[in-house]
Amino acid sequence: MNSFILLGFMGGYEVIIVLVIIILLFGGRKIPELMRGVGKGVKEFKKGVEEADTKPSDSDDKKEIK
């Protein structure tokens, strides 16, 4: 939550400075690879959440048996 509050106080110039620093640290070629990895991670996370929602949990089965 603290990071959200800090981002609220950042203006346009501060965001540009942060982006320039990120480009300098990682390089222009690594950023698309990093974003691709983040996208795959988010996709896998959503897939796992959907599977967990559709699968009946083990605790529900134990309650029905008793």
Q: Is the pLDDT of residue 45 over 90?
A: yes
Would residue 64 count as lying in a domain? no
Assigned token pair, 34? 């990093």
Binned at pLDDT 50, 70 and 90, residue 22 comes out as confident
Would residue 65 count as lying in a domain? no
8 A C-beta contact, residue 31 and residue 22: yes
Would residue 66 count as lying in a domain? no
Domain that holds residue 41: 2-55
* Number of helical (H) and strand (E) elements in the chain, helices listed first: 4, 0
Would residue 45 count as lying in a domain? yes
**How many independent structural domains does the chain possess?**
1
Q: Cα(28)–Cα(13) distance, rounded to whole angstroms?
A: 20
Decide: helix, strand or coil at residue 66: coil
Rounded to two decimals, the pTM is 0.47
Q: Is the pLDDT of residue 59 over 80?
A: no
8 A C-beta contact, residue 18 and residue 26: no
Average pLDDT over residues 29-51: 90
